[in-house]
Amino acid sequence: MLNTTPTSTPARLTTPAASKLPRALLWVVGLIYILAGLFFRDPWKSDDVIGLAAMLSALQQPSWQAIITPQIGELAYAEGGPLHIWLGALSIYLLSPFFQWFSSELDANILASRLPNLLYFLILITTLWQGVFRLAKQKAAQPLPLPFGGEPSPIDYGRMIADAALLLCVATIGILWRLHETSAVPLSLALYSSALYALSLYSKRPRTATILLTLALAGTLLNQGLGAAFSLGFGIILAFVLCVSLRPYAKQLLWVIFGTALLCSLWILPAQQSNYWWQQWWLWHQAQLHWPDPSSILRSGRDLLWFLWPTWPLALIAVWQWRAWLRFAHIAIPLSLAIGPLCYLLFAQQAFEPEYTWLVIPSATLAAFSLPTLRRGAINSFDWFAVMCFSLITATIWLGWIALHTGWPPKIAHSIARQTQGFDTSIAWPALVVAIIGSLAWLMLVLWRLRTHPPALWRGTVLSAGGLITAWLLLVTLWMPALDYARSYRHVSHQLAQQIHALTPNSCVRTVNLGLGQRASFYVFDALNFSFNSKCRYILQQTSPKLSASEQDIFPFPTTEIWRGRRGGDRNEMFRLLDTQAF
């Protein structure tokens, strides 16, 4: 009885609504999405530059232990896992010498460190599409047969749902920047997507599915630590409990657990040789969890409203509309993979975007299955919201750029000038041309929707993905120089390095209140290492220009300021290099 498919289905669809989305359009969307903003910029704090600093430290530190146990210079970076650091360091080691033929060593390292993101994105879109396609082709997921025929074939229907899931994933606001940084997040998305694909594969190729699921779970632990592994692992176990088509393969979970433990032990055993690092790693994990706190839960819920837009409302609709199908794979698998991260967020101390990304893949999958259950009016509302929202964002980006270069409107120009004080506002004409072409492409897409009234169900997802990509393209073409100026530590790091090199040889410099992102930036740009010796003569202090001189002088002994600096236009952060033996 449990295996009986309900006689009715909430999905209503005709063949024209499942018409094929041009493959060239999907590839263009994907390439613009991942390539725009990935290169030709500095790493920004925090996770972006921290990841790069750990990759460089693995290659530059004399001890092999820096590869096994990640560091930032001489500081133990005992958070998450080392997998994305290993892959980034390997890319730098292999490809940076080639890039140095036409760029500096620093820029070559930055460029090489981001190339693995292309691989992660390819794995993400491939496994997500294939996984959703397999789920949508199953009998329980099919739309209701029409009285006189005309419903799409399982292949056409599965392709349409898979296309929609891919576009909805790309349209998710919260991962837009994260997929372009050298952190654990891009690889995490690829691993979660691979787990979805592996679960969808069990009914056809159980042995391959077990191997792939093992690699996904082990990679998740090695990439983001125990919290991410428990989140995914719980979701996998729940999928085998809920989904009737997976229950015959429940014994395969033992092989998955055994294989995961075996693969992870290859890192855990040598990592334990560094007692201090291993102790800090455990302390970091313990600090991530606490008993459920209403304020933390409300904060995570508030953040998820924008982070998972536009998929979360559609995902909730899918769960409700398909509530009689919760034991079938197309709902049970993504729902289980969403419940795992949600349970983790209940106990998370300071959950933020790296943890929120675990919900992106199951939310996009569920959202895609909601589309054939929506009425025409709801679908049209989804279309028009995307058109109005992203048209307004596009106009705002252009208005800000005009204000930056012309001074009009004056209030907006004044606000921007405060954030980019000292910035050279010369126009990069090639970037401007690309921005104009991108804006025209968005206008053509909107006109296509207005004039043709396409019946295809993927039209709303194309508008959402196209609008977000247009906004992102405008940001990285029109605003990237200004954003780089405001958020990069390259110039202030060079200034600090000049001051430190001017000191007596082998001078000892320690830090006070220096953030991890700032420490990583100084290491990346100028290979600056700071001592932990409390008797160092020189001190690098991170403080705020908003504080008075007496509030900045927090030391019980006299000091002389040798240098002070900050990023252009930064009103909240300042650095001071102090001499403690000037008297």
Q: In the chain, how many H helices and how many E strands?
A: 24, 6
Token pair recorded at residue 17: 């609504």
In a shared domain, residues 353 and 390: no
In a shared domain, residues 422 and 325: no
Over residues 85-93, the mean pLDDT reads 97
- For residue 335, give Cα distances in angstroms to 10, 308, 332, 359, 390: 17, 15, 5, 10, 29
Any domain includes 86:
no
pLDDT-based confidence at residue 5 (cuts at 50, 70, 90): low
| CA-CA-CA-CA dihedral for 129, 131, 134, 135, to nearest 10 | -110
Which residue segment(s) compose the domain that 522 sits in? 490-579
Any domain includes 275:
yes
pTM: 0.95
pLDDT-based confidence at residue 426 (cuts at 50, 70, 90): confident
Any domain includes 363:
yes
**pLDDT on residue 418:** 80
In a shared domain, residues 526 and 547: yes
In a shared domain, residues 187 and 279: yes
**pLDDT on residue 331:** 97
Any domain includes 94:
no
pLDDT-based confidence at residue 529 (cuts at 50, 70, 90): very high
Any domain includes 573:
yes
Over residues 380-392, the mean pLDDT reads 91
**pLDDT on residue 1:** 41
In a shared domain, residues 504 and 549: yes
Helices (H), 225-274: 226-242, 252-271
Q: Is the pLDDT of residue 111 over 60?
A: yes
**pLDDT on residue 4:** 62
Listing DSSP states for 400-427 in one string gives HHHHHHH--SHHHHHHHHHHTTT-----
In a shared domain, residues 443 and 512: no
The Cβ-side half-sphere exposure at 571, using a 13 Å CA radius, reads: 7
In a shared domain, residues 237 and 348: yes
| CA-CA-CA-CA dihedral for 173, 174, 177, 183, to nearest 10 | -150
In which element (H, E) is residue 92 found?
helix 83-99
CA–CA gap between residue 191 and residue 358 (Å, rounded): 10
Show which of 323, 357, 373 is a domain's final residue.
373
Q: Is the pLDDT of residue 264 over 50?
A: yes
**pLDDT on residue 515:** 94
CA–CA gap between residue 310 and residue 461 (Å, rounded): 9
Helix, strand or coil for residue 531? strand
Per cent of the chain over pLDDT 90 is 76
**pLDDT on residue 327:** 95
CA–CA gap between residue 160 and residue 19 (Å, rounded): 7
In a shared domain, residues 219 and 363: yes
**CA end-to-end span of the chain, whole Å?**
87
Give the chain's mean pLDDT.
Answer: 93
Over residues 404-426, the mean pLDDT reads 85
CA–CA gap between residue 390 and residue 450 (Å, rounded): 15
Over residues 523-533, the mean pLDDT reads 95
Peptide bond into 46 cis (omega under 30): yes
Give which of 170, 152, 207, 181 is closest to 50, Cα–Cα.
181
Token pair recorded at residue 564: 């002070």
Over residues 226-249, the mean pLDDT reads 96
In a shared domain, residues 320 and 438: no
pLDDT digits (tens, 9 = 90+) for 17-53: 898 899 998 999 999 999 999 999 999 988 999 999 9
CA–CA gap between residue 431 and residue 448 (Å, rounded): 26
pLDDT-based confidence at residue 217 (cuts at 50, 70, 90): very high
In a shared domain, residues 479 and 536: no
Q: What are phi and psi of 543, to 5 degrees?
A: -145, -165
Show which of 343, 358, 373 is a domain's final residue.
373
pLDDT-based confidence at residue 280 (cuts at 50, 70, 90): very high
**pLDDT on residue 452:** 82
Quote the distance between the C-alpha of residue 334 and its chain's center: 19
**pLDDT on residue 444:** 95
CA–CA gap between residue 225 and residue 222 (Å, rounded): 6
Any domain includes 1:
no
Any domain includes 91:
no
Q: With beta carbons less than 8 A apart as the criterion, state whether 530 and 519 touch.
A: yes
Show which of 346, 373, 400 is a domain's final residue.
373
Over residues 501-518, the mean pLDDT reads 93
Q: Name 202's Cβ contacts closer than 8 Å, sequence gap at least 6.
A: 209, 245, 246, 249, 252
In a shared domain, residues 336 and 240: yes
**pLDDT on residue 548:** 87
pLDDT digits (tens, 9 = 90+) for 284-302: 999 998 888 888 899 999 9
Largest Cα–Cα distance in the chain?
A: 95
CA–CA gap between residue 141 and residue 241 (Å, rounded): 19
Quote the distance between the C-alpha of residue 89 and its chain's center: 19
**pLDDT on residue 421:** 78
CA–CA gap between residue 474 and residue 438 (Å, rounded): 7
For the chain, the domain total comes to 3
In a shared domain, residues 362 and 434: no
Q: Name 198's Cβ contacts closer than 8 Å, sequence gap at least 6.
A: 131, 209, 210, 212, 213, 216
Q: Is the pLDDT of residue 8 over 80?
A: no
Q: Is the pLDDT of residue 583 over 70?
A: no
Task: Enumerate the β-bridge partners of residue 542.
Answer: 575
Q: Name 57's Cβ contacts closer than 8 Å, sequence gap at least 6.
A: 66, 70, 71, 72, 73, 77, 523
Any domain includes 565:
yes
Over residues 498-504, the mean pLDDT reads 93
